[in-house]
């Protein structure tokens, strides 16, 4: 009797499911507290019941309906296949999983940040290449200079007469047909660069907000630790390698959580505290003094660099090869001084690895941003007022050399800083052991390289493409060096806020500093008289003012003129906009504080 009753109940269930829509039926089957095998059996019975009903009714879909259903199925299969291919093309997906499992989230955050910058530069390159470089190809004149190969390192010679630099771009309106549409290169150049920086600003802002909400206000951070053991295993994993990788990853996460839970608060005596404060002060004095000395050396070297260029022949590759001295010295300072900062951090003996990394990052950012600031002052105040025929191209060449030499030193740093250190630690001095991956130094190298790329976009539109290739190579070189030369951190710790800190440092002071440099260049500096799209104008921005004057004579364009005069050039509009943004920011801050309080109360209730 019980068997018959259960059979009738199952028949009723199949009939009720057959009457549902497809989406409702799928959800109902998923919610059943049955095994996967039982769910599949019920699904197959439901499909048979539906097919019986359709045959009984004799309702066959029309030819058009069958074609649409077939097209939908084919399109879905094509989308799934395309998704699988794209997933395979993401060569770093598996790499990031392996790094996270072997070295923890602290080292993984560096590679996630590097991947983010790589995607960022791909986007930058596509924008500049599409709206600036491709139109210039249509109006480009033949290059009569010979290519010797040395230009790859100096950026001079043959490259001066290519789309790589600002000076090669025309100031004419490009039109391939007499009565066809035209392309104003002046407006295209300044609007592309301007809109690009607006998009960068929004991307950085939303990225910071996304990582902040994911890491700082993450409800999972307040979950019970046992859930990590009981609820995180993915039972769809069947491959043996994937299982072992997942086990390592889970093992590392649990170690990080336990380290945070078992964190010890050390109590120091008064004398020990005074001694630690004195050591910290001496370390800061030494680091700031080193940064000031480095900036002074870079300033005087850059002055000598300009004099060397002005005395030599402008197209003489030998004289321009001597200008590699400046980027080599700058890269040497940016490579060696961070090792000194790391040594100071070890002397200070911070209580947690996080404190050591953040202090090292702050010292490195002071050094690198100060050097970039000195170089920007040299370009804006000295090079721009020099007797050079095309000072914008000269600045572009300087930045090209800095980016290239910095990339070479990054690769050399993997060899000398990690490979040789491993050889010494395993053969000569075994007590040293394998080196650890220096997160602070490597992250600041990325921020420094991206800052140079942003500054150079105005003077060398294809610079993001060069940086894109460099970041791609650095990703895999660093990955190989990490796997073969480095050991996991001795002190495991969880870095939920690390990526947010990286994006914030990229935004301020790096991006905001670049905006100020670009603003001064566009609004204040006089362009070269003999090269570039803005030749003959009082400033680059004057091209926009002249365009607005032309639009004033057209009735259909009056709305553009109104927006320009009443919004873009209005101080009152930006004052009101800034006030509105501050009010919204304050309201959101209060909401966040209220949610944090509610989260704490809920956490106490869970504990109770």
Q: Which residue has the higher pLDDT, 103 or 78?
A: 103
- CA quadruple 8, 14, 18, 19: dihedral positive or negative? positive
Average pLDDT over residues 176-194: 81
Rounded-to-5 percentages of helix, strand, coil across the chain: 75, 0, 20
> Judging by beta carbons within 10 Å of its beta carbon (0-12, 13-18, 19+), is residue 124 exposed, middle or buried?
buried
Question: Residues 275-301: pLDDT tens digits?
Answer: 888 988 999 999 999 999 999 999 988
278 falls within a domain: yes
* Alpha carbon separation from 253 to 12, 115, 227, 500, 507 (Å, rounded): 47, 22, 12, 19, 29
Contact 460, 164 (CB under 8 A): yes
Please give the share of the chain, as a percent, with pLDDT higher than 90. 23
pLDDT at 64: 67
What is the rounded distance in angstroms from the CA atom of residue 96 to the CA atom of residue 90?
A: 11
Helix, strand or coil, per DSSP, at residue 436: strand
What is the rounded distance in angstroms from the CA atom of residue 378 to the CA atom of residue 297?
A: 13
pLDDT over threshold 80, residue 450: yes
140: left (phi over 0), alpha (psi -120 to 50) or beta: beta
pLDDT over threshold 60, residue 485: yes
pLDDT at 551: 86
Question: Residues 26-62: pLDDT tens digits?
Answer: 878 877 877 777 888 888 888 887 777 666 555 455 5
127 falls within a domain: yes
58 falls within a domain: no
Number of domains in the chain: 1
256 falls within a domain: no
pLDDT at 373: 93
69 falls within a domain: no
Residue from 349, 346, 354, 336 nearest 432 by CA: 346
* pLDDT tier for residue 23 given thresholds of 50, 70 and 90: confident
Rounded (10°) angle between helices 439-456 and 512-523: 20
What is the rounded distance in angstroms from the CA atom of residue 341 to the CA atom of residue 69?
A: 65
Burial profile 434-454: b = 16 or more Cβ within 10 angstroms, e = fewer: ebbbbbbbbbbbbbbbbbbbb
pLDDT over threshold 60, residue 495: no
What is the rounded distance in angstroms from the CA atom of residue 464 to the CA atom of residue 462?
A: 6
Q: Which residue has the higher pLDDT, 197 or 86?
A: 197
Average pLDDT over residues 12-31: 80
236 falls within a domain: no
* Alpha carbon separation from 571 to 492, 525, 552 (Å, rounded): 51, 22, 22
Contact 461, 128 (CB under 8 A): yes
428 falls within a domain: yes
What is the rounded distance in angstroms from the CA atom of residue 348 to the CA atom of residue 362?
A: 15
Question: Residues 335-359: pLDDT tens digits?
Answer: 889 888 888 888 887 777 777 778 8
Burial profile 183-221: b = 16 or more Cβ within 10 angstroms, e = fewer: bbbbebbbbbbeebbeebeeebeebbeebbeebeeeeee
pLDDT over threshold 50, residue 220: no
Helix, strand or coil, per DSSP, at residue 269: coil
98 falls within a domain: no
Burial profile 31-49: b = 16 or more Cβ within 10 angstroms, e = fewer: eeeeeeeeeeebeebbeeb
Question: Residues 385-425: pLDDT tens digits?
Answer: 887 788 999 899 999 999 999 999 998 888 777 788 788 87
pLDDT over threshold 50, residue 8: yes
Question: Residues 298-334: pLDDT tens digits?
Answer: 998 888 877 766 665 445 556 666 778 889 999 999 9
Q: Which residue has the higher pLDDT, 212 or 155?
A: 155
183: β partners: 174
pLDDT at 516: 92
pLDDT over threshold 70, residue 230: no
Q: What is the span of the domain harbouring residue 512?
A: 111-217+267-537
pLDDT over threshold 90, residue 206: no
* pLDDT tier for residue 559 given thresholds of 50, 70 and 90: confident
What is the rounded distance in angstroms from the CA atom of residue 501 to the CA atom of residue 415?
A: 28
**Across the chain, what does the average pLDDT equal?**
81
What is the rounded distance in angstroms from the CA atom of residue 78 to the CA atom of residue 82?
A: 6
pLDDT at 3: 42
Tokens of 121: 């530069």
């Amino acid at each position: 009797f019980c068997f018959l009753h259960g059979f009738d109940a199952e028949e009723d269930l199949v009939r009720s499911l057959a009457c549902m829509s497809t989406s409702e039926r799928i959800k109902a089957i998923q919610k059943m507290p049955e095994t996967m095998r039982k769910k599949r059996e019920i699904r197959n019975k439901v499909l048979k019941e539906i097919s019986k009903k359709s045959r009984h009714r004799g309702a066959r879909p029309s030819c058009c309906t069958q074609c649409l259903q077939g097209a939908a199925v084919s399109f879905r299969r094509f989308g799934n296949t395309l998704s699988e291919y794209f997933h395979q093309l993401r060569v770093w997906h598996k790499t990031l999983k392996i790094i996270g499992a072997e070295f923890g989230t602290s080292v993984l955050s560096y590679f996630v940040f590097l991947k983010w910058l790589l995607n960022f530069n791909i986007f930058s390159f596509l924008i500049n290449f599409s709206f600036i470089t491709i139109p210039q190809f249509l109006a480009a004149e033949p290059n009569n200079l010979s290519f010797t190969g040395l230009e790859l390192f100096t950026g001079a010679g043959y490259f001066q007469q290519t789309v790589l630099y600002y000076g090669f771009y025309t100031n004419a309106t490009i039109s391939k047909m007499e009565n066809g549409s035209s392309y104003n290169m002046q407006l295209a150049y300044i609007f592309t660069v301007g809109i690009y920086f607006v998009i960068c600003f929004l991307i950085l802002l939303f990225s910071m907000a996304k990582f902040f909400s994911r890491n700082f206000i993450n409800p999972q951070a307040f979950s019970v630790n046992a859930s990590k053991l009981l609820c995180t295993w993915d039972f769809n994993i069947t491959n043996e390698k994937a299982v072992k990788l997942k086990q390592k990853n889970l093992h590392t996460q649990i170690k990080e959580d336990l380290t945070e839970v078992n964190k010890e608060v050390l109590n120091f005596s008064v004398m020990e505290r005074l001694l630690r404060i004195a050591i910290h002060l001496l370390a800061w004095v030494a680091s700031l003094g080193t940064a000031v000395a480095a900036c002074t050396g870079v300033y005087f070297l850059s002055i000598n660099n300009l004099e060397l260029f002005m005395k030599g022949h402008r197209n003489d590759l030998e004289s321009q090869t001597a200008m590699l001295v400046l980027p080599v010295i700058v890269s040497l300072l940016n490579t060696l001084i961070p090792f000194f900062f790391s040594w100071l951090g070890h002397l200070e003996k911070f209580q947690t690895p996080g404190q050591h990394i953040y202090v090292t990052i702050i010292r490195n950012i002071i050094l690198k941003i100060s050097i970039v600031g000195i170089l920007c002052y040299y370009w804006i105040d000295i090079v721009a007022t020099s007797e050079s025929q095309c000072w914008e191209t000269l600045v572009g060449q300087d930045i090209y050399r800095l980016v290239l030499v910095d990339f070479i030193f990054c690769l050399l740093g993997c060899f000398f800083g990690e490979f040789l250190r491993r050889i010494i630690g395993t053969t000569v001095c075994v007590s040293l052991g394998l080196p650890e991956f220096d997160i602070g130094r490597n992250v600041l190298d990325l921020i420094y390289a991206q800052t140079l790329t942003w500054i150079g976009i105005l003077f060398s539109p294809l610079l993001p493409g060069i940086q894109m290739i460099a970041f791609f190579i650095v990703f895999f070189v660093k990955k190989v060096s990490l796997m073969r030369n480095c050991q996991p951190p001795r002190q495991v710790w969880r870095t939920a806020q690390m990526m947010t800190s990286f994006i914030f440092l990229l935004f301020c002071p790096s991006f905001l500093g670049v905006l100020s440099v670009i603003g001064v260049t566009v609004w204040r500096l006089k362009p070269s008289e003999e090269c570039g799209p803005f030749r003959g104008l009082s400033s680059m921005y004057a091209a926009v003012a002249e365009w607005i004057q032309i639009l004033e004579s057209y009735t259909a364009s009056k709305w553009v003129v109104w927006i320009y005069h009443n919004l873009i050039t209005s101080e009152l509009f930006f004052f009101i906009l800034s006030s509105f943004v501050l009010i919204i920011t304050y309201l959101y801050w209060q909401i966040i504080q209220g949610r944090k309080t509610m989260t704490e109360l809920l956490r106490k209730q869970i504990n109770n």
